[in-house]
Structure 1
Amino acid sequence: MSSPPVPALFTDLYELTMLQAYWAEGMTAPAVFDVFARKLPPGRNFLLACGLEQVLDCLEAFAVSGQDIDYLRSLGTFSGDFLERLRALRFTGDVHALAEGMPLFAHEPLLTVEAPMPEAQMVETAVLNLLHYPTLVASKGQRVVQAAGGRAVVDFGARRAHGVDAAVACARALYIAGYAGSSNVEAGRRYGIPVAGTVAHSYVQAHATEQEAFERFAAQFPGTTLLVDTYDTLDGVRRVIELRQRLGERFRVGAVRLDSGDLGALAKASRALLDAAGLGEVRIMASGGLDEHVIAALLADGAPIDGFGVGTAVDVVADRPYLDAAYKLVAYGGHDCGKLSPGKLSLPGRKQVFRRYENGLAAGDTIARHDENLPGEPLLECVMQGGRRLAAGRVGLAEARANAAAQVARLPAALRDLQPAAEPYPVAISDALQAAQARLIAAHPVGGC
């Protein structure tokens, strides 16, 4: 299912003031903009591309409504001629992008927009927003999946995500990153993500006894997961055992969930109790304050945990809550452009990224000009042409998820580790691209096009 439409006025004011100036000056030649990260967030070895589907949905549906025009007219900033031209504006450009689930590194284009300048400029804010958060979340979520070592991870973060739209986008990004599902029902409805859930402390508290709550809930949902830490975790596990021994198949529980306390010690004690009672098939799920580092530490200590519910730390990307991403003009009217200011140097012209593999693992990338043919796999694909999505831009969620798993598996082990790699992944700039940048610097010693 497509994402909800992005309002045409979800943009920064200066995009509109620039549009009026562009049109007044006749500056409507083709422009090329790159989306890229200037650097990886500290502690990250790579990023995971995500959000492309939402960008393409936005570009295909872009239209300025009559109400939008009325509001802009009320500001008293824009000319009548500009507003009429804006009313007719649609996106008719091309988009080249990395497939969702593709690992990427600093300065590599995640997406390139090529369109008449007013169109390409107008969509800047939306494109950056729609790529930034999903890529950030998927990159964090993939680390959690790595830490879990094949155990199921479920997204529990909807209630603490930064907004309703963010929670749904997060669930989608995490599913691509390898999560087994989400507690977010709207994400399940919209995208077909498997939904999963247990039961809250409030349900247990609302009953006269914990035992009564367990028995009644399991009667409604056989094979469910029961939350056992409302009062005392191990007493809760014992009650599960007592009910199973008394009621037999009339009381079927798939798992118990631990949500507080020393999760490692409680998991070991719970496993011992369940196994001694002949309930080895009852799994143990943990939640509460988890991230990749906590999960890795629990498993390294031998905690017998079968699955994890992870929420806040991932949904808000607590350790690295933003990405230094940019949407920069790299060509206009057939001529290279680039930002040349110190610390924010950008690479000119439309590009391609080539990834080389050795013994089945990624060995290095080269950022090149788009018309070069270098060793390795070209990563940027044309996903939209003339404002209409191509086959490469119609990749389903299951395919994006499978692509993420396959591509991450092709990274060297050091990059998949939670710790920063001793040596960063090699990303080179082709000779031709370096020469183009040198020409630009020579022509514009103080920056600009």
Structure 2
Amino acid sequence: FILNIINHQSLIATKSWQINHAAQGRPIMEFGARRAQGPDAATYGARAAVIGGCTSTSNLQAASQFNIPAAGTMAHAWVESFSDELSAFQAWAKVYPDKVSLLVDTYDVLKSGVPNAIRVFKQVSAQGHQPVGIRIDSGDISQLASKARKMLDDAGFPKAKITASNALDAHVVKSLLDEGAPIDNFGIGERLITSSSSPVLSGVYKLAEEKINDQWIPKIKVSDSREKITLPGNKQVYRIYRQDNLHQAIADVIALADEHITAPLKVVNANSAATHVSQVLTNFNAKPLMQEYLGSNASPIENDLFKIQQFSMDQVAELPEATKRLVNPDRYPVYLTATLAELQEQLITKAQFMEEH
């Protein structure tokens, strides 16, 4: 159960962060419920998407359960259910006069959708309401958005926002913005809620320590593959910062829980393929990352989703920029203390000896 929660929500939150990072501060609406792998995945996926940076969700269950703003625009079915597009837009404006956000690609974005949207915008403006904008869900979004922007500006609606949707991901969002597409926000569904480009986070659970006769005994799982050998013992993870900048992380160090982390510190690279296996870290500050949430020393659990989002954004902001690239990101260094690495080797040797005898 714990693995299910951690793996799924960490996966979706990470994908959400990548998309939000690519959007350069433009709001992202989570639109994925219909493509998620079941109702629970849709609801908790929306929660994770907000932790990763999204500002709202189309999932009303998630909006209610986690106090997330609900957002969306009309469906194509709304437009199709009227005799013509203009009537559909006018009916929407009558029901939602202060939320006139119109889907303009049901028939023809530039010849029909945007002109009809402008007519309705003029009508609601004359009644004292401020139109929200339009959404484009198909076609060449970059070119359509550019032409629609000019039409809206020329008609006197420079504040009307343009929302883009339609199977978007971080790479598409970045490409659109690199082209200069005048898009104000995005609605992103299937490639976010399913993390389509990388749909599995392979977090595992292995026993690390066991209490036997009032004594804690470290445990290890050994494998022919070095990367699958587990780290024994009760541990703590420290984030290592430059000594002159407490907000610039340079590495993480995994230590035994009772170790005291000070500089200079001998460490071993956790990456089994690393060229430089061991080194000494100097001139740093260390902050413990793990907290206890169950037990006598339990920390209070934060339930405000947007406070969790802010904490998440603050943590990611401390990481090196090179590690955040969408393409060929730099590897963020993770080390083991020499003490932990030595314990691991001792238990590997012990396991091999037991196998031989």
Query: TM-score normalised to the size of structure 1?
Result: 0.69
Structure 1 residue 444 displacement after superposition:
1.2
Partner Cα distance (1:447, 1:286) in 2: 61
Match of 1:236 among 79, 97, 113: 113
Is 1:339–1:447's contact at 8 Å kept on the other side of the alignment? no
Q: 1:338-357 maps to which residues of 2 (within 5 A)?
A: 338-343=220-225, 344-357=228-241
Paired residues for 1:282-361 under 5 Å: 282-333=160-211, 334-343=216-225, 344-358=228-242, 359=245, 360-361=247-248
Deviations 1:60-91 (A, max 9, x none): xxxxxxxxxxxxxxxxxxxxxxxxxxxxxxxx
Which one of the candidate residues 406, 417, 422 is aligned to 2:325?
417
Indicate the residue corresponding to 1:430 in structure 2. 337
- Is 1:279 matched with 2:157? yes
Q: What secondary structure does 1:162 align onto?
A: coil
For 1:248 and 1:194, how far apart are their aligned partners in 2?
A: 25
Give the secondary structure class of the aligned counterpart of 2:64.
Answer: helix
Deviates further, 355-364 or 165-174: 355-364
Q: 1:417 is matched by which residue type in structure 2?
A: R
SS at match of 1:281: coil
Residue 39 of structure 2 aligns with which residue? 164
1:146 maps to 21
Q: Does residue 1:137 correspond to 2:44, yes or no?
A: no
Instruction: Tell me by how many angstroms 1:390 deviates.
Output: 2.9
Instruction: Please say if 1:268 is aligned against 2:176.
Output: no
Q: 2:103 aligns with which of 227, 241, 254?
A: 227
Superposition misfits of 4+ residues, deviation over 4 angstroms: none
185, 195, 202: which one aligns with 2:70: 195
Q: Separation in 2 of the partners of 1:278 and 1:242?
A: 11
**Unaligned stretches of 5+ in structure 2?**
263-285
Contact 1:354–1:377, Cα closer than 8 Å, also in 2: yes
Q: Deviations 1:39-76 (Å, cap 9, x if unpaired)?
A: xxxxxxxxxxxxxxxxxxxxxxxxxxxxxxxxxxxxxx
Find the counterpart in structure 2 of residue 382 from structure 1: 292
How far is the alpha carbon of 1:395 from its aligned partner? 4.7
Residue 272 of structure 2: aligned partner: none
Distance in 2 between residues matched to 1:434 and 1:391, nearest whole Å: 29
Whole-Å separation in 1 of the counterparts to 2:163 and 2:293? 40
CA displacement at 1:391 relative to structure 2: 3.2
Residue 249 of structure 1, CA deviation: 2.7
Contact 1:226 1:257 in 2 (8 A): yes
Q: How big is each residue's C-alpha offset from its partner over 1:108-130, in whole Å with a ceiling of 9 and x where there is no partner?
A: xxxxxxxxxxxxxxxxxx11112
d(CA) in 2 for partners of 1:313, 1:331 = 39
The answer to whether the 8 A contact 2:46-2:59 is kept is yes
The answer for the alignment partner of 1:373 in structure 2 is 260
Q: What's 1:363 paired with?
A: 250
Identity of matched residues, %? 38
What is the alpha-carbon distance in structure 2 between the residues aligned to residue 175 and residue 447 of structure 1? 49
Give the C-alpha shift of residue 207 in structure 1: 0.6
Is the counterpart of residue 404 in structure 1 residue 312 in structure 2?
yes
Aligned counterparts of 1:374 and 1:187: Cα–Cα separation in 2:
41
CA RMSD of aligned residues (A): 1.6
Q: Could you tell me whether the CA contact under 8 Å between 2:11 and 2:201 is conserved in 1?
A: yes
Q: How far apart, in 1, do the equivalents of 2:121 and 2:305 lie? A: 39
Which structure has the higher relative contact order (CA within 8 Å, separation 6+)? 1
Distance in 1 separating the partners of 2:42 and 2:23: 22
Task: Give SS of 2:251's match.
Answer: strand
AA of the residue aligned to 1:369: L
Q: SS of the counterpart of 1:165?
A: helix
Structure 1 contact 381–392 (Cα < 8 Å) conserved: no
**1:290 deviation in Å?**
0.3
1:252 positional shift: 4.3
CA contact (8 A) 1:151 1:307 kept: yes
SS of corresponding position for 2:206 = strand
Shift of 1:352: 0.6
Q: 1:199 to 1:395 in 2, by over 3 A?
A: closer
Question: Aligned in 2, Cα 1:247/1:162: closer, same or farther, shift over 3 Å?
Answer: closer
* 2-structure distance, mates of 1:243, 1:131: 46
| AA in 2 matched with 1:437 | Q
Structure 1: gaps spanning 5 or more residues:
1-125
With over 3 angstroms needed to count, the CA separation of the structure-2 counterparts of 1:181 and 1:447, relative to structure 1, is: farther
Quote the offset at 1:416 in angstroms: 2.0
| CA distance 1:326–1:247, shift in 2 (3 Å) | closer
Q: Deviations over 1:187-240 (max 9, x none)?
A: 011111111111001111111110011011012112321100000011211111
Shift of 1:247: 5.7
Change (3 A) 1:240 1:396: closer
Instruction: Name the aligned partner's letter for residue 410 of structure 1.
Output: E
SS of the aligned residue for 1:384 comes to coil
Distance 1:328 1:377 in 2: 25
Q: Are the counterparts in 1 of residues 47 and 62 from structure 2 also a CA contact under 8 Å?
A: yes
Q: Is the 8 A contact 1:355 1:379 kept in 2?
A: yes
1:444 maps onto 2:351 in alignment: yes
